[in-house]
Chains A and B, each alone.
Chain A
Amino acid sequence: MSTPLAITAVVLVVVATIAIGTWGLRFSRTTSDFFVASRTVGPGLNASAIGGEYLSAASFLGVAGLVLAYGAEMLWYPVGWTAGYLVLLVLVAAPLRRSGAYTLPDFAETRLESRTVRIVSSVLVVAIGWLYLMPQFQGAGLALRTVTGAPSWVGGVVVAVVVVLNVLPGGMRSVTFVQAFQYWLKLTALLVPAFFLMLVWLGDGAASPADATGAVGTALVGSDQWALPISPGDPYVLYTTYSLIVATFLGTMGLPHVVVRFYTNPDGRAARRTTLVVLGLLGVFYVLPPVYGALGRIYAPDLVATGQSDTVVLELPARMIAGFGGELLAALTTAGAFAAFLSTSSGLTIAVAGVISQEVTSRRLSGITAFRVAAVLGVAVPLMLALMTSGVSVARAVGLAFAVAASTFCPLLVLGIWWPRLTDVGALAGLAVGGLGSGVAVVDTLLGLEHTGWTDALLAQPAAWTVPLAFLTMVLVSLATPRRRPAGVRRFLVRLHTPEAVALDRG
């Protein structure tokens, strides 16, 4: 692949990101701007920003790679990541905005009137954020190595440095503009090359990717298996699929960078409408990555055998279109990939840094300095993790972050918003059970331990047992401790569900 063009594309994305961030800086004045853009962002801009932030390395590179390697079974990832927004819309969007909290720990403390729940939630936010940041840095390393041949660590370090530069001066407000821009950049970067690739494919006779067998030794899965979302030979496939569905459908609402976006809506009604626009934007985007995976089965089957299927989006344009045109399209997908790393990492860094600065660094430092120190900390740790661990596919690592979020914050939010009897003791017990259960699975996967049979299935996709267990624990322990029910819970629930148009003492 042509190095100068691809490097130019990466540099352009980085410069544009910093430039738009600096432009947004003119509007950013107070600590409140830093965390939530002072809650004055309209639904259109906010929805683009949510889309830009949400579509990470896993969506841009990982989905196509998994589809290329394993086929239709992996289509559940993008479906789940979109459906997660529907569940979020239905269960938490408007009440969460009306709760008046800045972050998940804020919500937990206000609802349950407990410092301890707040601290446990903060630890979980940082853990999920780091788990999610790690594959972004790994993906960046992979992308830069593919297009330039640079060592894997370079890409991760570049992304980390740009994110810190971008977050330090402007905080949330400037990042909102950057991320709205990056959604449209990512969509263009997949849509335009996909259009030309489809033309080439039609010109070649439009052979069905399902029928591609590849040369001998290219390790393609069989046609039946690739075409069907349930591979016939695997006895655990039904469990694994449903576990993935549970993790993605319910995990989205518990992701720290997703939740923090809801506070930037002006009111609960706008929060709902924003989420609906996001659903549409995600649906449009997620049609594209599987196209690359499917075409890759015909034009780049060797990537599977060499374990580089995550690079199919970057490799395909130059392979299918010779000469300058192909190189230009390849540079475009590379630019889109970097937009994906930068936007998701920025959002996560802000969420993680917000929590670290509130809980730790603000005790010693003033508001904005505390946030900046926390941002550097928030990026450094997952960068170290990314440099030390490798070999877990980008989309799978992100899948684990969803499983942890679904096992902890999903029950906390759903029961906290809809069930008055939830107590602080119940919430703590549920967070502990869900967090430990899914945590064991995460550590096991990151260490790459080998298992067989049910142990392997249960640890690879833990959500189907950890989520019900966490819900059950929260409900049962809450029922057993009715005296711990917070005094102000009725008032709080009224505030969550009352439209802003109705006059109400909002405390």
Chain B
Amino acid sequence: MASLLRAQLRLAVGVLTTLTLTVGSLPLLFVVSPSLGDVRVLGMPLPWVILAFAIYPVLVVLGWVYVRGAERNERAFADVVERS
């Protein structure tokens, strides 16, 4: 049981760390290089492209990775319990 809890916690911390490093670092990035506001993609300022559109698929993919990982951990645990 302790091993399942540890595995799930490790997975959760991994996903949240990725979230912090990607999405969480954006405000700092924009402060460090405000010239990003001048970069245009298809006529839109780059920060707009990231925050208004590109960020949502990233969030869904992170969620999908987590759900897969969590279900794999649970299956592994169920196998161990049933064998014992």
Contact = CB atoms under 8 A, between A and B. Distances in A.
Given A276-B67, A418-B9, A499-B78, A287 B27 contact: no
B77 A283 contact: no
Q: How large is the interface on A (under 10, 10 to 19, 20 to 34, 35 or more residues)?
A: 35 or more
A149 interface: no
Given A94-B70, A228-B34, A229-B26, A79 B4 contact: no
Contacts of B5: 418, 493, 497
Contacts of A421: none
B21 interface: no
Interface residues of B, number: 48
B67 A502 contact: no
Contacts of A82: 56, 59
Contact of A238 (B24, B31, B66): B31
Contacts of A286: 56
Contact of A90 (B43, B45, B66, B71): B66
Interface in A184-239: 206, 208, 210, 224, 227-230, 232, 237-238
Given A72-B47, A82-B56, A287-B53, A229 B67 contact: no
A237 B78 CA distance: 48
A184 to B, nearest CB: 18
Contacts of B71: 269, 272
Contact of A228 (B37, B59, B64): B37
Contacts of A493: 5
A157 interface: no
A287 B78 contact: no
Contacts, number: 128
A477 interface: no
A270 to B, nearest CB: 11
A208 B67 contact: no
Given A206-B43, A228-B37, A499-B74, A283 B57 contact: yes
A122 B61 CA distance: 35
Nearest to A419: B9
A75 interface: yes
A87 B31 contact: no
A232 B9 CA distance: 39
Contacts of A275: 63
Of the candidates B36, B44, B67, the one having the most CB atoms from chain A within 10 angstroms of its own CB is B67
B1 to A, nearest CB: 5
A208 B43 contact: yes
A237 B9 CA distance: 33
A8 interface: no
A248 to B, nearest CB: 11
Contacts of B40: 208
A468 to B, nearest CB: 14
B81 A72 contact: no
A273 B60 CA distance: 12
Contacts of B26: 229
Interface in A63-84: 72, 75-76, 79, 82-83
Given A282-B56, A497-B4, A498-B77, 6 more contacts: A91-B12, A91-B16, A242-B27, A269-B74, A276-B64, A418-B9
Interface of A: 72, 75-76, 79, 82-83, 85-87, 89-91, 94, 206, 208, 210, 224, 227-230, 232, 237-238, 241-242, 245, 249, 269, 272-273, 275-276, 279-280, 282-284, 286-287, 290, 294, 418, 493-494, 497-499, 501-502
30 contacts: A75-B48, A82-B59, A83-B59, A86-B59, A86-B62, A86-B63, A87-B16, A90-B11, A91-B12, A94-B70, A206-B43, A210-B48, A227-B37, A229-B47, A230-B30, A241-B27, A242-B27, A245-B23, A245-B24, A273-B67, A279-B63, A283-B56, A286-B56, A287-B52, A290-B48, A418-B9, A498-B77, A499-B74, A499-B78, A502-B81
